[in-house]
Each structure stands twice: as C-alpha cells, then as structure tokens.
Chains A and B, each alone.
Chain A
C-alpha cells in the first residue's frame, strides 16, 4: 500500500541553524501538507501546497518557514533559523484530489530537537 515517507526520523540541531525536513508524498497525490505537534499538545496545521504554490498557511508559518517541491517526488519544509520552540514532531501529509473532504495520509513524522 502506498505511504508517505519522511526523513530523517530524528533531527537534532543547534539554535539558529537551518534545517530541511524531507517528505515523499504518495506518488499520484496532488495536495501536500505540513503539520507540527509539540510534545503533549495537539497537531497544528502549518501549510498546504498545490500546483507548486502555497494554497493556505497558518499563523505559525511565518517568514522563517518555507516549502518547496524541488522535483517530482520530494516535498520539503525548511526552517531558516531554528528556535528552541521549534522543537516538535513535524508531519507531512498528502491527499489525492481536493483540499478539504479528501483523505489526508500522514507520514511517520520527523522529530526535531533544537538545542
């Protein structure tokens, strides 16, 4: 069964450093998303991406964040200058044909630890 994959599973970085989190969505999906979950808190929407551009983003997704689909398979989240409060699980998701009612399939997550 097709699945969303994410790398790395765990990333440790120093405050102020840039990190890139990688995702490979399900191959025929068109919509891609990033979420984060701070330890013990709820899953929070960051951004959705369709047709090579951001379709929606939340208040959390400020200028420190960017997303890119550099080729036909990868979808990346970049944090330019990490802060301690960026430590969280970051989940990538993809869906097939619509933003909203279509099923979103989640990856296993990348645990980001900022020291």
Chain B
C-alpha cells in the first residue's frame, strides 16, 4: 500500500514568516498534487507536479517535486492569515492517495 506522510502535522506561525511543509513517501508517484481544504468543504487544487525536480510557483507559494518523485515540498513566503487552512498532498501511483495534511494557522 502506498502511503504519503506529511510534516509537520500542525504549524502555527506569525504573519510575515516563511514556512515549508513536506510530503514524503517511500513510493514513486507519477504525479503529485497539492490541495487546500477548508472545514466542511472539498479540497481545492493548488498545483500538480509531474516531472522529478520540477518547481512551480504560485504567487507566494513554491512547490517542488523531488528528483525521485517520492517527495514534495510546499514553501510559503511571507505567510498571511488568509493562508490558514489544511494543506493536503495527493499522489498518483498504483492508486490515488492523500496524505493526512498539515494544518497551518497564520496569526495576525
């Protein structure tokens, strides 16, 4: 069974700080997606990464797919309270699996 681990599980930071959250697996994924989920709502896609080593930027968010396509990171620069939420990674391997998420809280 392919599993995705995410760290940290919880993160609370002050507005303006930078942060990185991680998504790791021992398995190779053909693609990996990052989502943000608000309570009681469906996941909303942020980015899809496909190529090992790929880096994608979305405003203050930078996503990287590991060279071996087993891991990924999400870096947020100058975090804002609006970034608060649950960040999920999900990967396509044998099946489509989600990580447990990192719950981010950005305090004003």
Contacts and interface: CB of A to CB of B under 8 A. Distances in A.
Contacts of A111: 40
A11 B99 CA distance: 26
A32 interface: no
B108 interface: no
B33 A107 contact: no
Nearest to A106: B42
A108 B42 contact: yes
Given A100-B92, A101-B31, A103-B33, A42 B99 contact: yes
A1 to B, nearest CB: 12
B70 to A, nearest CB: 16
Interface residues of B, number: 23
Contact of A43 (B40, B48, B90): B90
A45 B50 contact: no
Contacts of B40: 89, 109, 111
How big is the A interface, by class? 20 to 34
A59 B10 CA distance: 29
Interface string B89-107: 0101001111111000000
B78 interface: no
A36 B37 CA distance: 14
Interface in B8-51: 30-31, 33, 35, 37, 40-45, 48, 50
Given A108-B42, A111-B40, 10 more contacts: A35-B98, A42-B98, A43-B43, A45-B95, A56-B95, A93-B42, A106-B44, A108-B41, A109-B40, A109-B41
